[in-house]
Amino acid sequence: MADSKNSTQVTINDRFDVIADEPLPEFDCGSALAYRVRHHRDSSLSLFGLVCDPRLPIRLDKFSAISRIESPYLMRLNDWGIADWPLSNAQCPILVFERPPRGKLFGSLDQEVEPRHEDSVIQHVVQPIYDVLREFREIGVAHRNIRPDNIFIDGAAEGNMILGQCLTSSPGFEQPFICETIESCMSAPSGRGPGVESDDMYSLGVVLAAIITGEVPGAGMSDQEILEAKLSAGSAALMTRGGRISLSMMEGLRGLLNDDADERWTLDDLGQWANGKRGSPIQNAPPLRASRAFEFAGLNLFNCREVANAMAKNWSQAAAVIHDGSLDGWLRRALGVSNMVEAVGIAKTDLTPNELENDDIVVGRVCIALDPTAPIRFRDLSVTVDGFEGLLSGLDGDRSILGQLSQMLGFNFVNFWIENQSTSRTDLVERVRTLNQLRDILRRVAIGEGYERALYELNPNMPCLSPIIDREYVIDAAQVLPALEHAAARRTDLRALMDRHLAAFLSTRFGGLRGGEFRNMDNEVDPYLPLLAGVRVLDLLQSSTQPVHAYPELCKCATRLIGPSIKRFHSRVTRKRVEEEMQRAEKSGILAELLDAIDNPVNLSNDARDYDYAVLEYGQTIQRLRQLDMDRQNRSLIARNLGAQVSSVISGFLMTIVSILIVIYYFLIKS
């Protein structure tokens, strides 16, 4: 898709040059770094490219749909490709965009700008972004990257807003705390899920508050302070604190920043408001506040959401206040909400005796009961019910966290979370099926299964993370063999052509596997079988393409790795013949020929049969030799025994003759 041109630039699809020594930091977007781009035929185009982190998933499946949105208020994706990026010494996805004429509205979240008038906000901010989000609704996608430093200004005198891109990371992954709902703030960034329209409405509310007041709300506050402020006073109060805002604009902000997703404005509500329809200002009810604080972990907490969040942050201390009745007493006497008392009671008691003794289960369930809309939390994990797939991509193989994830799923927290929701959601039926599948996959330990299988099974945009092809950006099974060819040509330290990541990637992306191809890769008895099994899988992949492409460097590496398995042949003649055949196959670049030489079942069967026959013949020969040796050592005894036997035979013979003569003589005399 892309070719390297020289050490300072790469070419995308023979159309664009991305220049590595001309960075454009003002257009950086999270982990994606911006560089100047030059069009081959039209030098007047002002373009920039975003070079993405190759180990993080991007929204590949949304490229086509979003690039077809024809709106002057959305940063346009011109093209994209994968190239060997000289600054990272690895292949990276690079996205080419048109450069907005006047740059970002907010250069950073700490920057202050001149506040805009209400009419200007409606005309040049709300209406353009409303038009863009309406297009996103049509394709069924949430933007999930709306924030003050991802809003740009066009070249017009009035300065219409242009909404920045949303493709270079997972949905919501790089959103700052201030722009995310309370639920998203509580979740791990990678576990926020794909998001919905309601999430974009909330983020837009933050952007409007920043434009109206001239500064991003929460500036100078830590993430934890922002979350605590949202929990105690509500998002709308935090966003509008200290600002002089008209009643009309306050109506819009309160509608967009409502912490109850069911009460939050929809895109249609936003459109009506932008077109002049006004209603009475929405009064966002603050969280129900207790008459006295609940003291826990050195904190004074006044509502259930605060308590649940504090317990999740201080997991090891939470079980004590649950078991000793402190929490129950506070809920009854200070808060006085009977349904909450009942929900917490069910969370603690609706368990088997063994589960009741497990503090992790009790704390996790009580956190859900106290705050049913929050993410599911367990020890160090916090994830929305839609965010498990993304969470896997952010774990980076951390086995301790993976163990917690398996426990979270095994303890049926998902089902308990669903039971505590105030409204039923039909989409959760399919969700439960997916998460049950995830739980089952994580329990498997065979190669091609476990965490790695779940990662690729549930994240179709995830590139292969195998260290074997660490410099290659592989997102499809067809790219595996070319990537291995490059790795074999570049590296002399390869000790295998298949590992857990590559096996799991092929298990999910290559339809030519039947399921048992990786079985021998777990063999710990025969040292040759795992290597041969890996090459067999790659042979299936190579044979599935028409025409079959040759990979000589890969074949050369495979020959070196599986060459010692020639020791399986017992015959020196056979070994020599197989070695010659392997050398010919190595030059051909066809793995099937290599396997036919080293792993031909007929040759192996014949060699085994000849070996068994030779062993039998050898045993018989040894037995005969031993007998001869014993005979040599006992010659005198044998001679005596033999002489006695000969004498006995001769005596018997003579006796027989004498007897015959006597009989003859007797008959002659008588006659």
The C-alpha atoms of residue 27 and residue 234 are separated, in whole angstroms, by 32
Q: What is the pLDDT of residue 281?
A: 52
CA 596 to the chain's CA centroid: 35
pLDDT category of residue 283 using cuts at 50, 70 and 90: low
Q: What is the tens place of the pLDDT at every residue in 91-110?
A: 999 999 999 988 899 999 99
The C-alpha atoms of residue 20 and residue 12 are separated, in whole angstroms, by 13
DSSP run (H or E) holding 644: helix 635-670
The C-alpha atoms of residue 289 and residue 286 are separated, in whole angstroms, by 8
DSSP state of 612: H
* Backbone torsions φ then ψ of 485, nearest 5 degrees: -60, -45
The yes-or-no verdict on residue 295 having pLDDT over 50 is: yes
Q: What is the pLDDT of residue 568?
A: 83
Structural contact between residues 401 and 345, judged by C-beta atoms closer than 8 angstroms? no
Percent of the chain with pLDDT over 90: 60
For 335, the token pair is 């808060």
Q: Is the peptide bond before 128 cis (omega within 30 degrees of 0)?
A: no
Q: What is the tens place of the pLDDT at every residue in 187-200?
A: 999 999 999 999 99
Stated pTM of the model: 0.86
The C-alpha atoms of residue 96 and residue 32 are separated, in whole angstroms, by 12
* Residue 420: count of CB within 10 angstroms of its CB: 17
Tell me what the mean pLDDT of segment 640-661 comes to: 80
Nearest by Cα to 180 from 164, 198, 167:
198
> What 3-state DSSP class applies to 80?
strand
The C-alpha atoms of residue 545 and residue 530 are separated, in whole angstroms, by 24
The C-alpha atoms of residue 265 and residue 272 are separated, in whole angstroms, by 10
pLDDT category of residue 335 using cuts at 50, 70 and 90: confident
The yes-or-no verdict on residue 387 having pLDDT over 70 is: yes
DSSP state of 263: T
Tell me what the mean pLDDT of segment 333-358 comes to: 88
The C-alpha atoms of residue 115 and residue 216 are separated, in whole angstroms, by 11
- Please provide the DSSP assignment of 194-220 as one string: S--HHHHHHHHHHHHHHHHHSB-TTTT
- Tell me which long-range contacts 518-522 makes (C-beta under 8 A, separation of at least 24): 518/446, 518/447, 518/448, 519/446, 521/447, 521/448, 522/446, 522/447
pLDDT category of residue 627 using cuts at 50, 70 and 90: confident
The C-alpha atoms of residue 307 and residue 288 are separated, in whole angstroms, by 12
The C-alpha atoms of residue 415 and residue 372 are separated, in whole angstroms, by 12
Q: What is the tens place of the pLDDT at every residue in 558-606?
A: 999 988 888 888 888 888 988 888 888 889 999 999 999 888 788 888 8
Q: Which stretches of 420-493 are DSSP H helices?
A: 427-443, 450-458, 480-490
Structural contact between residues 359 and 398, judged by C-beta atoms closer than 8 angstroms? no
The yes-or-no verdict on residue 629 having pLDDT over 70 is: yes
**Residue predicted with more confidence, 241 or 553:** 553
Q: Which amino acid, one-letter code, is at 103?
A: G
Q: Which amino acid, one-letter code, is at 152?
A: F
For CA atoms 385, 387, 388, 389, the dihedral sign is: positive
Nearest by Cα to 327 from 304, 353, 349, 350:
304
The C-alpha atoms of residue 142 and residue 62 are separated, in whole angstroms, by 10
Angle, to 10 degrees, between the axis of helix 359-370 and the axis of helix 315-323?
Answer: 80
**Four-point Cα dihedral 407, 410, 411, 416, nearest 10:** 120
Q: What is the pLDDT of residue 157?
A: 57
CB burial string 76-89: b at 16+ within 10 A, e below: bbbbbbbbbbeeee
The yes-or-no verdict on residue 307 having pLDDT over 90 is: yes
The C-alpha atoms of residue 105 and residue 115 are separated, in whole angstroms, by 11
Strand-strand pairing, 33-39 and 47-51? antiparallel
Percent of the chain with pLDDT over 70: 96
Q: Give the residues across from 49 on adjacent strands.
A: 35, 96
The yes-or-no verdict on residue 280 having pLDDT over 60 is: no
Tell me what the mean pLDDT of segment 605-614 comes to: 83
The C-alpha atoms of residue 342 and residue 357 are separated, in whole angstroms, by 20
DSSP run (H or E) holding 18: strand 16-23
The C-alpha atoms of residue 211 and residue 205 are separated, in whole angstroms, by 10
The yes-or-no verdict on residue 5 having pLDDT over 50 is: no
The C-alpha atoms of residue 529 and residue 547 are separated, in whole angstroms, by 29
The yes-or-no verdict on residue 140 having pLDDT over 70 is: yes
Q: Give the residues across from 19 on adjacent strands.
A: 9
* Backbone torsions φ then ψ of 544, nearest 5 degrees: -80, -15
Structural contact between residues 390 and 190, judged by C-beta atoms closer than 8 angstroms? yes
Distances (CA, A) of 399 to 118, 406, 572: 52, 10, 47
Q: What is the tens place of the pLDDT at every residue in 497-541?
A: 999 999 999 999 998 887 778 888 887 777 788 889 899 999 999
The C-alpha atoms of residue 358 and residue 370 are separated, in whole angstroms, by 19
Tell me what the mean pLDDT of segment 205-209 comes to: 96
For 322, the token pair is 């649950």
pLDDT category of residue 217 using cuts at 50, 70 and 90: very high
* Residue 68: count of CB within 10 angstroms of its CB: 10
Q: What is the pLDDT of residue 6?
A: 52
Nearest by Cα to 202 from 165, 172, 228:
172
The C-alpha atoms of residue 210 and residue 106 are separated, in whole angstroms, by 9
Distances (CA, A) of 253 to 111, 304, 314: 21, 25, 33
Q: What is the pLDDT of residue 279?
A: 63
pLDDT category of residue 441 using cuts at 50, 70 and 90: very high
Structural contact between residues 598 and 558, judged by C-beta atoms closer than 8 angstroms? no
Structural contact between residues 51 and 141, judged by C-beta atoms closer than 8 angstroms? no
User: Range with the lowest mean pLDDT among 196-210, 280-294, 364-378, 554-568?
Assistant: 280-294
User: Range with the lowest mean pLDDT among 71-85, 286-300, 364-378, 610-624?
Assistant: 610-624
**Residue predicted with more confidence, 426 or 590:** 590
Mean pLDDT of the chain: 89
